[in-house]
Amino acid sequence: SQQGEEDPQALSIQEGENATMNCSYKTSINNLQWYRQNSGRGLVHLILIRSNEREKHSGRLRVTLDTSKKSSSLLITASRAADTASYFCATPGGSNYKLTFGKGTLLTVNP
């Protein structure tokens, strides 16, 4: 079963707007990761946040982690058409290196 559950499942915004995606998970984790997947391609690692971190930034990305609520959010600021993709959260399952992915959020940024 999926460890992470993203919402919304789909999000459509205009260029320049911010996009926020949320992820919930079920078990204790030592890190949570976000990945992007362009249509028909492999995944690209965006950012990793450790369990002892509450917020992390990388360029236009801002990730938060609330371990008490077992949830994380990914904020993309000043979105661009090139940000159109599916975004997945992933958490370690089993061994430290095996990942379980959420269902993903399909983000569409309209020019």
Partner 1 sequence: GAVVSQHPSWVICKSGTSVKIECRSLDFQATTMFWYRQFPKQSLMLMATSNEGSKATYEQGVEKDKFLINHASLTLSTLTVTSAHPEDSSFYICSAPETGMYEQYFGPGTRLTVT
Q: How far is the CB of 16 from partner 1 (least distance, A)?
A: 27
Whole-angstrom distance, CA of residue 8 vs CA of residue 44: 20
Closest distance between partner 1 and the C-beta of residue 31, in Å? 5
Looking at the Cβ atoms of 12 and 18, the one nearer to partner 1 is 12
Residue number with CB closer to partner 1 (80 or 98): 98
Nearer to partner 1, 15 or 47 (CB): 47
Binding region for partner 1 (CB under 8 A): 2, 31, 33, 35, 40-45, 48, 88, 92, 95-104, 106
Tokens read off for 74: 């990914």
Whether the bond between 8 and the residue before it is cis, its omega within 30 degrees of 0, is yes
Q: Which is closer to partner 1, CB of 41 or CB of 54? A: 41
Residue among 4, 7, 5, 17 nearest 83 (CA): 17
User: 82 by DSSP, 3-state: which?
Assistant: helix
Tokens at 83, concatenated = 């940000």
Q: In what order do the strands lie in the sheet with 61-66?
A: 5-7, 19-24, 71-76, 61-66, 55-58
